[in-house]
Structure 1
Amino acid sequence: MESAIPPHLATDRTAAPGPRPGWQPPYPSFVARFAPSVTRVAMAYFGVQYRSDNEPAIVRTALADLDAACADADGPGRVDRAAYVDEAGFRTVVTIAYWDDPARHERWFAAVRPRWLRADGFFVEVLRPSTARFETLFSNDRIEGVAHLAGTLSGEVREHAYWGGARDRVPLGQRDRLDPGAPPAVVDDGQRRVVRGQHNLCLIRSGQDWTDTDGDERRMYLDEVEPVLRAGMDFLRDHGRAIGCYANRYLRVVGADGTFADKTFGMSWWRSLADLDRWAKDHPTHKAIFGQAMKYLSTLGPAARLRLYHEVTVAAADEQYFEYVGCHPGTGLLGAVAVDEAGRR
């Protein structure tokens, strides 16, 4: 059994306890293995929100232009698209692009950013973390998200299936408490709002793939597990700020043909990894999710075809960029900024 932390990033652990000696996880899990030459990645979330039931022409054009740009020489190594309806009733499409070469990303982003942020309702959220600042976890061998840049997974790892495992998989967490810095703030206000990030801001993308399920397993997931998951995601969306969740999106993946895939994921911005840990360990909404998941997995055992994964990033302040054009005040990191008496942020 391997350590989740690759040898080239391993050091003596001082800031977190790690799994207890002799820990044997009850089920297998795997992590993405990046080459030592990859020292930083970029994760860019391009979003657009609108009220109408039908996708407006400006949105269709912008998405087509973004798709074309992603095919450029400096374009991302992986692109995903997903959609959801947010807490204010806006239909929102999010395109997620990943790079393992920061220089390529910077050249590409400099050209694409002003074209994407073309009108009200468009936004972009970017992290460029070092590989010491994020971790991944997979229940199987199907790669998702940033792991596509690595192209390979580890063998079975030991740092999982206990509370606090995510912290133990973040390489920087070996010697750093990952405490949060000063909260986000708007640094350029008006119709175009740029938000200053927060040191050790935490982002989790946590996904579910029921593509391969059928029969009783599919019914069990859709009728018993997914509604509890959705309730937890709705709680974080509507009430998460009280427990340190700045914003939560529960998105469904859109396939290459434009139809919804049998995949969803939660995307949550958190004040700190510690806040995320506390919700996962102690909050009734996550206890309900965990309980249903354990019931599902214990019923099906190794025959379960549901595939689960996540990626957790704890980004430095200078690794973040957030810009929103004419978006409603609860959008993304705008929701983390205090509202003054005039209702402006």
Structure 2
Amino acid sequence: MKVESAIPEWLVRERTIPPNMPTNFDPPFELYTSRFPRNTKDLVLAVLVRVLDPALHKVAAVTDNQGHCNIAVLLYWKSKANHDEWLTTSGFDQWWDGLTPGSHQHGWFLEVFYPTIDRFETVITTEVPQGAANLRETMSGPIQEHRDALVGETSNIHPRNETSAPSSATGRRVVPGKKNLVVIRSGQDWSVAAPEERQLYMNTMHPVLIKGMDFLRDQGDQVGCFSCRFMEIVDPVTQKGGTDQTFGLAYFDSLASLEKWSKEHRTHLEIFAGFSKICQKAWG
């Protein structure tokens, strides 16, 4: 299988720590990556969530472990400049600043991330993009680096604690950002799979995936995970979710914590075992 580097030549940096995989690593299955324009410097991901009591609405993106239904809109921009312009021209900033806590029957929260291009990567099992990969210029692969594809990790990246934000007189809660926070968004799309492929996924992969996501959600502090939501994509026509299109959105305190959970914890080992079974069935 002919493979190429996941890192474009203009982002290559001299490595100061040894890679996880050998230079002649032969991938056991195909993975693809997104290629962004050479002038791309940063991206923006915003998560806008309305929190409802389950009795108020039937359509849900995810129900958290407190029984609250969270309906989220995930928004992506190709640059921070585009995002900042949208905040003003769309009227969103004015609307958000005008929200009064307690004036609605539900709550709101907003999470915004500004990854620079050297601290961002996409790894995809097919040429169907997920998340920010939809902003790509092209799709490329198969790639050699199933790991070690993050350009910014030329040296160890450690978590950094930030000072707490002052309490707000308006009743709003502000959680300050953390330097070197790790954000991972996985994606599963079985909407066009053949019946036997979908059954294989539901019987083999989905149960252990749910188990792993629930562990990170409920006991993530044991492995350095601040938050994990296993969310269903809501169909724009039917306004219903389902198991055909899902994704996990998790925040870790460091790459080391994410790596350790991935390599050592039984919940992820079971996920990888389920994924390997599907690969063997699908690609031999």
TM-score, normalised via structure 1 length = 0.74
**Cα offsets for 1:260-302 (capped at 9, x unmatched):** 2511000001111110111111001111111122122212326
**Cα offsets for 1:282-329 (capped at 9, x unmatched):** 001111111122122212326xxxxxxxxxxxxxxxxxxxxxxxxxxx
Look up the match of 1:337.
Answer: none
Structure 2 Cα separation of the partners of residues 114 and 46 of structure 1: 15
Look up the match of 1:126.
Answer: 112
What amino acid is aligned across from residue 235 of structure 1 in structure 2?
F
Q: Does 1:255 align with 2:241?
A: no
Look up the match of 2:136.
Answer: 150
Aligned-pair CA distance for 1:236 = 0.6
Aligned-pair CA distance for 1:183 = 5.3
- The structure 1 residue matched to 2:157, chosen from 175, 178, 182, is 178
Look up the match of 1:290.
Answer: 272
Structure 2 Cα separation of the partners of residues 116 and 12 of structure 1: 43
Look up the match of 1:325.
Answer: none
Aligned pairs (5 A) from 1:22-171: 22-55=24-57, 83-110=61-88, 111-116=91-96, 118=99, 119-120=101-102, 121-160=107-146, 165=147, 168-171=148-151
Aligned-pair CA distance for 1:252 = 0.4
- The structure 1 residue matched to 2:251, chosen from 269, 275, 280, is 269
Look up the match of 1:232.
Answer: 212
What amino acid is aligned across from residue 25 of structure 1 in structure 2?
P
- The structure 2 residue matched to 1:216, chosen from 185, 189, 196, is 196
**Runs of 5+ in structure 2 lacking a partner?**
none
Aligned residues: 271
What amino acid is aligned across from residue 99 of structure 1 in structure 2?
W
When the two chains are superposed, the root-mean-square deviation of aligned CA atoms in Å is 2.0
Preserved CA contact (<8 Å) 1:83 1:253: yes
SS across alignment from 1:265: strand
**Cα offsets for 1:141-161 (capped at 9, x unmatched):** 11121111113111211111x
Distance change in 2, residues 1:301/1:23 (3 Å) = same
Preserved CA contact (<8 Å) 1:33 1:154: yes
Structure 2 Cα separation of the partners of residues 184 and 28 of structure 1: 43
SS across alignment from 1:193: coil
Aligned-pair CA distance for 1:114 = 4.4
Aligned-pair CA distance for 1:189 = 4.3
Preserved CA contact (<8 Å) 1:185 1:196: yes
Further displaced range: 109-118 or 279-288: 109-118
Structure 1 Cα separation of the partners of residues 49 and 186 of structure 2: 18
Q: Which has the higher contact order (CA 8 A, sep 6+)?
A: 1
Preserved CA contact (<8 Å) 2:54 2:67: no
Structure 1 Cα separation of the partners of residues 44 and 112 of structure 2: 7
What amino acid is aligned across from residue 61 of structure 2 in structure 1?
A
Aligned residues with identical type, % of pairs: 34
Structure 1 Cα separation of the partners of residues 186 and 167 of structure 2: 31
Structure 2 Cα separation of the partners of residues 12 and 195 of structure 1: 35
Structure 2 Cα separation of the partners of residues 16 and 180 of structure 1: 20
